[in-house]
Every structure is written in C-alpha cells, then in structure tokens.
Structure 1
Amino acid sequence: MHRIALALVAAQLVVRGLVLAQGGFYWDDLILVGRAGQYPLWSASFLLYDHDGHFMPGAFLIAGVVTKLFGAYVWWPAAASLLLLQAVASLAVWRLLRILLGDRPIVPVVLSGYLFGALTLPSFAWWAAGLNALPLQAALAWVAGDAVRLAETGRARHAVTGVAVFAAGLACFEKSLLVPFVAAAVVALGYRGCVRAALWRCRRLWLGSVVVIAVWAVGYFTVVRLPTGQAAADQAGGLVSHGLSRGLVPALLGGPVRWERWLPGPPWADPPGVMVVAGWSALAAVVVATLYARRGAAAIWIAAGGYVAVSQVAMVLGRSGPGTTFELSQTLRYLADSSVVLVVAAALLIRTSARRPVRLPGWAVAPAIACFVAVGLISTVTFARSWHTDRTPDYLTTVRATLAARSTPLLDQPVPPRVLLPIGYPNNLMSHVFAAVRPRPAFGTSTPDLQMFDDTGRLIPAGIAPVRAVVAGPEPRCGHRVDVLATLPLTGPLADWEWTVELNYLAARDGSVSVSLTDGPTVRVPVVAGLHQVYVRLTGSGDGLRVRPVTAGLDLCIAPGPVGGVLPR
C-alpha cells in the first residue's frame, strides 16, 4: 500500500507541475514580490503587513526568500515552492489516513479523493493563494494526526510537533485557527466511547495551541483592520448557494469539468446542470446510506458540514459587498481546505463500526474511483486552459527587458488594471511592482526623457495633456529669471492631485533646484548647463510653481510649459 500511495502522490505532483509549467505570476503575487524588493526580509514592514485583511507573515517570508534568492519574477522557484508545499500537504493527508485506517487497501482509494479532485486546484495554481492554502491543508492533516497519536500513546513529541505545525500554518493563513478544533473533532469522533479521556490525553497539544493563538492574536489585532462584509441577505444566500451547488457539490464528483473566466479575474467553476444534479443526488445517497449503516455517522456529517458552513460564513463576512458577484464563491479558493476535511470524514466513516450489514459491491469500487480521477483530470486540463489565458507573465517579461535596457530615470505610473487593479494603490505603482527587479533605472520624481509603458509593457514616447501652464515671464529672451526662490504663476488654479510639469529652462551651470506647487511638498530636480527640458512629478494644489536653486551660484531662465497629466504622444 505504501508504494501505491507514494505513486499516487507522485502522479499528483506531475499533473500539478504541468499546470504550473505554463503558469506565471498573477495579481497578488506582484504585491508579494514588490514588497520583497522594498523592505528587508526580516522587517516588520514586510512580514507584518495587512494584506487585504490577511495576516500572513509566513507566506510573506516564503515569498521574500524566493524573491531575494532567485530574483524578481522568476517563475520556476515560485512554482517549485508550490510543488513542495503540495507534496507536504499530500503526504500529511496520507499520514493521517494511515493513522485512522492503518495500511488497509482502502487508504489509497480515499487518498485519491484529495489528490485528484479539482477543489484544491485554483488555490494551488496561484502563488499568493497557494502560500495561504497549502500550509493550512498540511496543518489540518498533520495536527489531527498528531492529536490521534497523542491520544493513543501519550508521547510528548506529538504535542510538540503538533503545536509547531499549527504555528506554521497560522503564520501563513488566519483560517488555520480552525486547525485545533478539527483535530479535537477527529479525536472525539475517532474515540466515541471515551471522548473525554481521549481529549484529556491531548491536553498538552490544546494548551500549546492556546499559547500560539494568544501570541498570534496580539499581532493580528495590532496589524489588521478587520474586514466587514456588507452583504444583504439575498447576496449572502446567493454566495452560499453558488459556492455549494456550483462549486463544492460538483467537486465531489471530480468536477466542475468546465470553467469560465472574466479577465482579469481568476477562473470560476461553471459545471453543467447535469453534474450539479448528479452531485447532490450522490451526496444525498451517501449520507442516507451511511446514516443507515454506520454508527456515529450523524456526528461525522454534522462536523464536516459545520466546517464547510464556517468557511462559507468567513467568505461572506470577509468578501461580500456592493461589487461582489456570486461567481466569487465559484472560484473554489474559499473551499479548498474542505477537501481535507471531507477526506478525513470519509476515513472516519470507514473507521466506525457497522450498524447494519451493508456492503458495497467490490466490482463497483474501482470504476467509481477511476471515473472520479478521470473527471478530476478533465477538470484540471480545462482549468489550465482557462488559467493560461492570463497575459500578466508576458507583460512582466516585456517590462523587465525594457527596464534592463534603460538608464534614464522614469516617472512612476500604475500598472494596467488588467495586471493589478487601482484598489491596490500604492502597490499597483511601477516603482512598487518592480522594486526588486535588477537591473533597472530609478523611478524618480523627474526625468529629462518623458516616456511611459503601454499595456503590453513596451516603453513609448509620452507628452503632457495640458490642464494649466506656466505663464510667460517678464524678461525678454529669458522669461522667468530664477536665482533665488521664485513663484511662477500658472494660467489657473490646480486642484489637489498629482501633476506633471514640463519645465523648459536655460541653466548657467549643472546643479539642482527644488520645485513645488504653491501648496504641496518639494522635490529636488537635477538640471544641466544649457537649454533643456525636464519633466517633474508634483503633488499638491495652487495657482503657482515655486522654484528655488539649491546649488550655490546657479541661476536659470524658465519659459512657459504645460502642467497636466501624462499621456502617450
């Protein structure tokens, strides 16, 4: 049985590796890589960051190590980290099944439900999501296994490893708070006749978990602004029903087979109606049969259903709002860890004693498993096709090559919304996204060569769409003479915003000047001797431009120039 189980795990990793082979960085991955380039690896600013309501220092640490060791936006190390985490999770599930069922031939059969189902696939293929989901899946299985071993043997090492793995999972994803409760449920359901005694034998694991939660809670409530969903009852009901009927239930048959996608969002399950009906029918049949045939089946189903319900409630509370669509719950990311719980529930049902003699025909088992695996593989192939339609990897490759070929500073700009939405500001700025890229020019507040990136990542000439302008100065053949602080009037007032100024100047020598709007912060701008242009990015408001030489003995003549936003020329 060991060889069969290991062969199944290896087959899963091969299949998942093929999914990753043509994948790449997507959405939140850019925030992880960008912040790794902005901050030291062990800094609180990097590790203790409120990432859209998630507290995940462990995930940031993994992303930071990968980025700093191998460079920014090199996909194979990130993909390798996902495969490694998947291997750990799969082996942890196998270990738990062996603990519950021994080395019975049924173990590889049950294990296949976790290995080849599509429920865990969307969160696996996306690096940022996988750094959350895979440690949680591994922790669910490993800590439950340690709890059972601790109840059976009383050996302290199971408490130590259980607490350590729980802490690691919690460092990557706050949903790992559920891990000790799942472990306690597995112990209680596995030892129905002596629940109190079994749970008491695990007291060191529970106490250690309480300490971990207390330490974690200090960090979490210090860092994270708690997400508050704004769902009405109908939206909450729609999210839950779509997540169950079009997400979880078809996945019980290996589905959903079909995926839909609205770029730039991730793929979401779009199962055919017949699969939804078949899934609910199969689930109802299994529940009724086990309630009839197995002792304690009701408690097992209640526990498994409770975990799924908690997952759905967490999704509704954390992600609902006016802009949320029901398809969010069909992305399956919020149900991925339920795959572990459902496999464990199956093992507990097999482990319980029979109430009535009901035997499944042996000839039906192999075809049923083969059908599940086949449907799961079809779902994997169709998911991969949908997942690979994203063009973010091509964009990142083009920008990296462009940056490497340029030495002149660039003015900062957001990446295209299809790459990272403006809601991620300031993490969606080029200076943030590409902070870890080397070599590259500086993203400064001024540049003598105004260019911008198009939506494909190519650098193209740019100009200023004028909103206001510097008015002509009083001195003939000079305009505004600046040898001390001078305020250059604009053709009208500017609202408080981010503006770009075309500064047309004649400088007597090389040096630098400070520039600001009437009401706004000052930036330092280098100038060179002679007649030149420099483009300056300013924030603020007012009806004048303040310019002051910083270099001693520097004076300039400044001619009219536009003030506005940057657009392709």
Structure 2
Amino acid sequence: MTVQDERPAGFQITLPSLGTGPVVGAGLLLVAISLAFRASVLGRAYFVEDDFLFVAAAGDSGLTWDYLTRVHKGHFMPGALTLVWVLSAVAPYSWALVSFVTIALQAAASVMFLVLLRRLFGDRPWVLAPLAVYVFAPLTVPAMSWWSAALNAVPLQLALAGALAAHVRYARTGQGRWHALIWTAAGMAFSTKGVFIPFVILGVSSAFLGRGLWARSILAELRRPGWWAQGALLAGYAVLYLLRRDSAGSDALTGPKAELVPGVVRRLLGETFPTGAVGGPLRWGGVTATGGLADPEAVTVVASWALIALLVALTCVYRRRAWRAWAILAAYVVVADAVPTVIARATLWDMVGAETRYVADAAVLFALCLALAALPVAGEEDAVRRRTPGGLPAAAGALTAAFVVAALVSTNAYADTLTGDRVRTYLDAARQSLAEAPDLDVYDRPVPPHLVLPWNGSRRLTSNVLGPLTDPETRQRMRDPRPSARPYVFDDAGKLVPVGRVVPFFDEVAGAECYPAGAVFPVESMGGPGMVVALAYTSEVPVRVVADLGGTERAASLPATPADGGLFYVPHDGAGAGLRVTVAGAGAQDFCLRAVAFGEPGPAL
C-alpha cells in the first residue's frame, strides 16, 4: 500500500521570523525576567560532586578520542566533555565563566522555544502562555544550578526545541532538510536522552502537521527524505555507546533494585513531575550536596493532579486533536524520563524520584503539548470541537499568572537550599594556599564530603580535586609525594597546614627504649594513594630505612635528629598486612625507632 502525504499540492505556510513586534518583544521580556531569576539561583550555587571529577579528568587529558567518548555514570556525552575541557583550559573552577555559559545556553533554549511556538501557531499573543510555562518552569532550575546536570539538561532542551523548530520549517516550506538532523546530533552529543528527539519530532509532526488518522500521518511522515538519516544516526550512536560502555569502570551501571523501583516511579511520576509541571513543588526537603529534593505537601500533589486533569479534560472537550498532545507528553515522560531513571538510578534509594533533574527536559514537552492541546496550529482545519465559552481565555490568563507566581516561589525556595558559599570558601582558600606555598610537600587526604561524596574513592583526594588549581609540576608532586620531615595537608577549610596526626599510632615501646629490629606492626591496608607511614625516631647520623608492607617496599633517607628525636613521613601505597621497618646500610646501631603510625595523614589541630 502506498501512503500519500494528505496535504494539498503546493501547501505552504509562511513562517514568521524572530524579527520584531509586540509578541516577540513580550516573549523576549519574559525570557529576560526568567533568566534574571535563574542568575540569582546560580549566584548561590557552586561547583560540587561530579563537577570536580569532570574538571580533574579534563586536566589530566588532552582533547582525545578516549577522553571524549568516556562513559560517565551511564552518560555518553562527548559534547559535554568537550565543553568541560574548553572551559577548564580557559579558567579551571571559574564559576563566573560556567554561570555565563549556562545562562547563555538557557537563553538560547528559551528563545528557540519562542521560535518553535511562533512557527507552529503563528504570531499570536497566546503563544506567550506556554512560553511562560517553559521559561519559568521550576523543573529545570535544579538541573541548571548543578553544572554536571546542566551539561546534559540545558543543551538537551535547546536541541529538542531546535530540532522541532527546524522540522516544522522543513515540513511547511521544504527548506533546511538536514537542520533537524544536526540539532538531533547535537542533543545526543550532550545527553543520552537525545536519542528520543527523533521520536518526539515524529510524534508532533504526524499528529499536528499531517492530516487524517494519526497512524496514516505517521506513515506519511516517515516517507519524507531524511528519516533514514535519523535512523542511521540512532544506530551509530547505539553502537558507539555499546563499544565504549566499559570505559565507565567503577561507574558502570549495575541495574535497578526491584524493591526500589515502585518508590522511584511513585515519586518521579506521581509527585515530582506533576507538581513541578504546574509551578511546584513549593517545598523542598532532603537537602543534599547539590540542593534540595522535591518535597511537596499532599495537598500540593492533589491540587496538581486535579489541575492537570482539568486541563486535559477541557482541551479534549473543545479541541479535536488535543488528546494527541497529551499522549505524546505521557509517552515521553514514561519512556524518556522514568524508564532511564529507573534503569540507571534506582540502585541506592528511592529518593532519586524526588530529583527534578530527571524530568527537567519534560518541561519543554509539557509547555509544548499544553500549547498543542489548547491552540490550533497554523493552517489546521476543523481544530475546534465546540465553541469555547467567553470566559475561558480570561481563566487561562489567570492560570498562567498563577503558574508564574507559584514557579517563582518554588524557585526561591530551592535557592534557599543551596550552600555554594561553603564550597566556594574552601576552594578559594585552597587556591590561595597553593599560590603562596608552591614548593611544599603536600600529602593527599579526602576533601570534605560536601564537595565530593565518599563513594567516589580516590577521585576525592585533594591531589585530584585541587590539582587543576596549580601548575602541572606541582600537581604531579601532589600525586606522587616524596618522603618528608614536614609535609602539609589541606584541612577541612581548604588551608594548607602541617600534618599533625596519623592513626593508628603505635607509640608504646613495651619495656624497652626502642622497638627491636625487624619488629612487625599490626597494619592492614587495601593499598592505593593517600596512605603514609609516620616514624618517630632518634639517630645521631643520617640513615636509610625501608618500610615493607605486603611485599611492597618504600625507602627513605632520614636525617640525623637532636637528642629528643624527630618525626619523618613516608608515603606508602602498598597493600597487605604487617608493616616492617628496617635500616638499609650503615647507621643501624645508632637508629632508635620510638613509634610508628600508618594511615591517612590528618591536619594539625
């Protein structure tokens, strides 16, 4: 069976350019106001968690294929990693630069959404309502304020709006056949959710730009030149992801825990998305390092669902194809947001369903589908099922105003959960300490958990997190520290201070002045960076000692000490049980080992 495009021959609609005019002016004013509020949120945020891992990895790598195609916690995002590398090369840990780029991308996404609305519906004032629903959407604010999430979420929103706008232009004018494909590729480069962009294009175009039955419109749409290229792009992306997924290492996805899935789905689809879509959640709780989690009250959840149900019912009563818009939205939220979140994140606790970043992209779809359900697209025939009551437009305007007010309340409440100043103070102190003391022996210790959480292992050590703040030589010395009589570590405030303790400390010489030669201390270690042997000793002459742990030896030349003894530190990355300290060569008869410690070095109190 041959499926024909049901539009009349020569069917063409003149699309409005961005240009000027009252609708464009009002739309840009809405965008500017929303960006001002978002900028105030960014002013209270700062680098945290994965941000440090990204900057550290960029500092260790060139702009290589291996670096760009590395999978990070399930994300395949060469475009995002390119942006991290470039910004880190220009100014590592510059929140002003990161904020500027983030706001610029958000501005581009907002303006592109205005372009999309005007291409779909023409130059009519009512497009300002769905524009406001998107640009003020609280769902998108937490994702934008955490750089690691913004790297995926904001470019994806831009690509989604751009691809749809490009396809609408091509469908109606025949111009820009490959532009939607380029936008899709850009979306995939920044977020794995970019693979859903072609399906959104297909759903929207067939439902509202085609004619007749939706199924026939889908088949007609697929006959357009260019869909084979979208399919090839999806296939290539999938193959490349599968080939590179092992590069995730310890961050590889392990699959969801069945007992967590119901809770994640209930929170994400039952509370977080519906309340956020209509201006909530109003209240945030469960504050984490990256900000608050959606914590709407029960009455807010009920009211949100009631409002969404009312919108669906009213639009379906008065608009013939409104149900198609709501079907597209429901399919996207479930397939593109809920399913990936469950697969990748339902592993530790069900509160991930309260993180709005997992449905931030759905804000674009909600605003778009609301517009498609309520407004006839340009050139659409028989769009109205029955005449709308005279008071409905006024009610819609009031609802839009109420949405904006609720959204601003939610945005400000979220901003109150951010603790960027605490991280900023730490990083500023570390930057200053490294600049003032470039030649110190700096030993590793983990940064505080409000910067990088403990489950990131050795990647949260100061040599990795703070290394980008200094020159390559100092960074290498931090990663491979030398034995020292006076090493330094970063304290919890970000300042370099002398090492003051290493635990456990074996300092009771039972019945003797010195430990016997070859004594073995009850030490067990998993190995790796950040561990150190501390030796309290006396010696009239310099000696060379060897610290053996699990067959791994680390040697150090110890200086002569005054009569009351000295203290020396030897970094040791060996794994095993039983630490033995021996003297290599001359000077054994003058060497007295008074105490030994092995563990993580801590700052002087």
Q: Could you say which TM-score interval applies, normalised by the shorter chain?
A: 0.7 to 0.9
Letter in 1 for 2:24: H
Alignment partner, residue 596 of structure 2: 562
Asked if the contact 1:37/1:437 (under 8 Å) is kept, the reply is no
My pick for the range that moved more, 194-203 or 449-458, is 194-203
Which one of 378, 395, 419 corresponds to residue 451 of structure 2?
419
TM-score by length of 1: 0.87
Say if 2:206 is the partner of 1:188: yes
My pick for the range that moved more, 460-469 or 5-14, is 460-469
My pick for the range that moved more, 192-201 or 9-18, is 192-201
Kindly tell me: are residues 558 and 132 of structure 1, through their superposed partners in 2, closer, same or farther at Cα, counting changes over 3 Å? farther
Query: CA separation in 2, counterparts of 1:217 and 1:524?
Result: 50
Alignment partner, residue 401 of structure 2: 370
Instruction: Give the C-alpha shift of residue 491 in structure 1.
Output: 3.6
CA RMSD of aligned residues (A): 3.0
Query: CA separation in 1, counterparts of 2:356 and 2:515?
Result: 66
Query: CA separation in 1, counterparts of 2:309 and 2:135?
Result: 23
Instruction: Give the C-alpha shift of residue 409 in structure 1.
Output: 1.4
Kindly tell me: are residues 116 and 555 of structure 1, through their superposed partners in 2, closer, same or farther at Cα, counting changes over 3 Å? same
Kindly tell me: are residues 500 and 507 of structure 1, through their superposed partners in 2, closer, same or farther at Cα, counting changes over 3 Å? farther
Alignment partner, residue 82 of structure 1: 102
Alignment partner, residue 463 of structure 1: 501
SS in 2 for 1:535: strand
Asked if the contact 2:521/2:580 (under 8 Å) is kept, the reply is no
Letter in 1 for 2:424: P
Query: CA separation in 1, counterparts of 2:325 and 2:267?
Result: 24
Write 1 or 2 for the structure with the bigger share of strand.
Answer: 1
Kindly tell me: are residues 177 and 390 of structure 1, through their superposed partners in 2, closer, same or farther at Cα, counting changes over 3 Å? farther
SS in 1 for 2:139: coil
Q: Deviations over 1:292-336 (max 9, x none)?
A: 221122222111101111111211111112x3133x212211110
Kindly tell me: are residues 101 and 433 of structure 1, through their superposed partners in 2, closer, same or farther at Cα, counting changes over 3 Å? same
Letter in 2 for 1:564: F
Sequence identity percentage: 30
Letter in 1 for 2:229: G
Instruction: Give the C-alpha shift of residue 527 in structure 1.
Output: 5.9
SS in 2 for 1:120: helix
Query: CA separation in 2, counterparts of 1:79 and 1:132?
Result: 15
Instruction: Give the C-alpha shift of residue 45 in structure 1.
Output: 4.5
Asked if the contact 1:445/1:523 (under 8 Å) is kept, the reply is no
Instruction: Give the C-alpha shift of residue 252 in structure 1.
Output: 3.0
Q: Deviations over 1:334-377 (max 9, x none)?
A: 11000111112122221260112224623323322221111111
In the TM superposition, 1:336-375 aligns within 5 A as 336-349=360-373, 350-351=375-376, 353-359=383-389, 361=391, 362-375=393-406
Query: CA separation in 2, counterparts of 1:420 and 1:335?
Result: 24
Asked if the contact 1:35/1:435 (under 8 Å) is kept, the reply is no
Say if 2:576 is the partner of 1:541: yes
Which one of 461, 468, 486 corresponds to residue 449 of structure 1?
486
Letter in 1 for 2:47: F
Say if 2:424 is the partner of 1:403: no
Letter in 1 for 2:312: V
SS in 2 for 1:410: coil
Which one of 393, 412, 418 corresponds to residue 424 of structure 2?
393
Kindly tell me: are residues 95 and 521 of structure 1, through their superposed partners in 2, closer, same or farther at Cα, counting changes over 3 Å? farther
Instruction: Give the C-alpha shift of residue 445 in structure 1.
Output: 4.9
Alignment partner, residue 410 of structure 2: 379
My pick for the range that moved more, 434-443 or 102-111, is 434-443
Instruction: Give the C-alpha shift of residue 471 in structure 1.
Output: 9.2
Q: Deviations over 1:199-226 (max 9, x none)?
A: 146431x222233333323332122255
Letter in 2 for 1:67: S
Instruction: Give the C-alpha shift of residue 468 in structure 1.
Output: 5.7
Asked if the contact 2:76/2:241 (under 8 Å) is kept, the reply is yes
Letter in 2 for 1:19: V
Kindly tell me: are residues 165 and 451 of structure 1, through their superposed partners in 2, closer, same or farther at Cα, counting changes over 3 Å? same
Instruction: Give the C-alpha shift of residue 507 in structure 1.
Output: 9.5
Say if 2:353 is the partner of 1:307: no
Letter in 1 for 2:193: K
Query: CA separation in 1, counterparts of 2:137 and 2:468?
Result: 36
Alignment partner, residue 46 of structure 2: 24
Alignment partner, residue 322 of structure 2: 297
Query: CA separation in 2, counterparts of 1:341 and 1:548?
Result: 71
In the TM superposition, 1:52-451 aligns within 5 A as 52-70=73-91, 72-155=92-175, 157-159=176-178, 161-193=179-211, 195-196=217-218, 199-200=221-222, 202-204=224-226, 206-225=227-246, 227-232=253-258, 235-264=260-289, 266-310=291-335, 311-321=337-347, 323-326=348-351, 328-349=352-373, 350-351=375-376, 353-359=383-389, 361=391, 362-388=393-419, 391-406=422-437, 407-438=439-470, 442-443=477-478, 444-451=481-488
SS in 1 for 2:598: strand
Asked if the contact 2:548/2:554 (under 8 Å) is kept, the reply is no
Kindly tell me: are residues 567 and 104 of structure 1, through their superposed partners in 2, closer, same or farther at Cα, counting changes over 3 Å? same
Asked if the contact 1:48/1:56 (under 8 Å) is kept, the reply is yes
Query: CA separation in 1, counterparts of 2:40 and 2:523?
Result: 57
Query: CA separation in 2, counterparts of 1:106 and 1:181?
Result: 27
SS in 1 for 2:460: coil
Query: CA separation in 2, counterparts of 1:177 and 1:69?
Result: 31
Letter in 1 for 2:444: D
TM-score by length of 2: 0.82
Kindly tell me: are residues 49 and 515 of structure 1, through their superposed partners in 2, closer, same or farther at Cα, counting changes over 3 Å? farther
My pick for the range that moved more, 86-95 or 114-123, is 86-95
Query: CA separation in 1, counterparts of 2:407 and 2:446?
Result: 39
Letter in 2 for 1:56: M
Letter in 2 for 1:303: I
Say if 2:71 is the partner of 1:37: no
Kindly tell me: are residues 96 and 546 of structure 1, through their superposed partners in 2, closer, same or farther at Cα, counting changes over 3 Å? same
Query: CA separation in 2, counterparts of 1:247 and 1:172?
Result: 24
My pick for the range that moved more, 394-403 or 437-446, is 437-446
Instruction: Give the C-alpha shift of residue 176 in structure 1.
Output: 0.9
Alignment partner, residue 483 of structure 1: none
| Long gaps (5+) in structure 1 | 481-487
Asked if the contact 1:464/1:563 (under 8 Å) is kept, the reply is yes
Asked if the contact 1:26/1:393 (under 8 Å) is kept, the reply is no
Query: CA separation in 2, counterparts of 1:360 and 1:395?
Result: 59
Say if 2:40 is the partner of 1:14: no
Query: CA separation in 2, counterparts of 1:118 and 1:85?
Result: 17
